[in-house]
Amino acid sequence: MVICGAGFGGLSAISRLTRAGMRVTLVDGHLYSTFQPLLYQVATAGLNPGDVAYPAGGFARRYGAIFRRGELAAVDPASRRIKLSSGHDMGYDYLILATGVTTAFYGVKGAAEHTFGLYTRTDAIVLRDHLMAGFERLSEDQGDLNVTVVGGGATGVELAGTLAELRRTVLDSTFPDVDPARVRVRLVEMAPHLLGPFHPKLQEYAKAQLLDRGVDVRLDTRIGEVTADQVRLAHGEDLPSDITVWAAGVAAGPGVAGWGLPQGKNGRIVVGPDLRVQGQDRIFAVGDIAVNPEDPTPQLAQPALQMGRHAATQIVRLEGKQATEPFTYHDKGIMATIGRRSAVVQLPQRLRIRGTLAWLAWLALHLVTLLGHRNRMSAMLNLSWRYLTWGHGGGVIVGDDPPPFLVDGPLPVGSDRGHGTVPSRA
């Protein structure tokens, strides 16, 4: 058994397979698994990068599996072998693809070159360093700092809300000479509402909370082009933007096309009802990388966890000469936070919660589901410090200064084109 990807879907499949006596190898390009729902807290200096990372090898070993570092480069179903980008190959009896996805720019000119993503741990660290550098620049130079968040889903709303709160609470103590009004946070969404999967009342609540925090919310707005210092809207208006964060959607990475497997919307792998890849008997795909055109699932953590367990169960059934069963997603609810003491929770049976209670529920769930006791304790300490010291500066975790110049990429705020290196965003 080979599982490619140490995200929610890949990790959730391991224990069920090893308990059935199968030899499992977990393959991932990183040595760690990233808890993506809290990446925005890393980007806004509330959590350390290590708080959202857990050793993939340690997790695999806990359940009797083997970990091997590598990026999937090719799949050969005929010989049941995969090839890694390092040149190494390995055989499999069954293969689970759980590699996740990457940022989708939808053909917007300049978006890939001049925006920051927030899908990986590296993305969060790079964004954090540029945000802190932007704040520092305000204490030295004239002018404003304009931050544009593109995408009104959970990630965009959470990031925009937290940035607005940083402006109001942290700048006073960390950069007391900076007028918070010089930091402008804007959220741009092409749909007529925020948080698409949520009930309209919760959508309106989220919008109102962002507006109360001073976020410039632009709905029903399309972006035509992004440059190093502005966002050009489709109707021709130019908005100043020193830092532009793209949280508007995801797509399969460019390497997926080389696997030779059927691809659907945004390049995702097409699967059947039982999560086997279309036309394949021994290859499954789970999580964000998989799409069943007849019954698509939300691109969230809970569907990925359930898909991973289901794929593992179907492999056990196939080995026992039993027929596979179709995947059914059991909706356990969705949630998003706007900021301190403000969140929205939507549960089955039309149960909806907002405000402080929803925020506490969001906080508790995310702390409990973090991998590793150390990570849970560290995250609880850092978030407690951030929110308990509210109004007294909170806490910001700073990192390194960003490179002075990114070739064909976002410029650090206030810098001139000079010399520098290009950091990896892998």
> Residue 339 corresponds to which tokens in the numbers above?
């900021």
Structure tokens at 282: 């021994």
Burial string for 38-75 (b: 16+ CB within 10 Å, else e) reads: bbbbbbbbbbbbebbbbbbbebbeeeebebbebbbbeb
Residue pair 81/283 in contact (Cβ under 8 Å)? The answer is: no
Place of tokens 């849970």: 376
Could you tell me where the DSSP H helices lie in 170-281? 171-174, 200-212
Q: Which residue has the tokens 């698509």?
A: 296
Helix-strand-coil split of the chain, %, nearest 5 = 35, 20, 40
172 backbone φψ class: left, alpha, beta (φ>0; ψ -120 to 50): alpha
Measured between alpha carbons, how far is 332 from 68 in angstroms, rounded to an integer?
33
Nearest Cα neighbor of 23 from 60, 74, 78 is 60
113 among known catalytic residues: no
How many Cβ atoms sit within 10 Å of the Cβ of residue 417?
11
CB 316, CB 323: distance < 8 Å: no
Choose the catalytic residue: 158, 189, 237, 319.
158
The Cα 131–Cα 304 span in angstroms is 31
In which residue are the tokens 């995408």 written? 151
**326: number of Cβ within 10 Å:** 12
Q: Active-site residues: which are they? A: 158
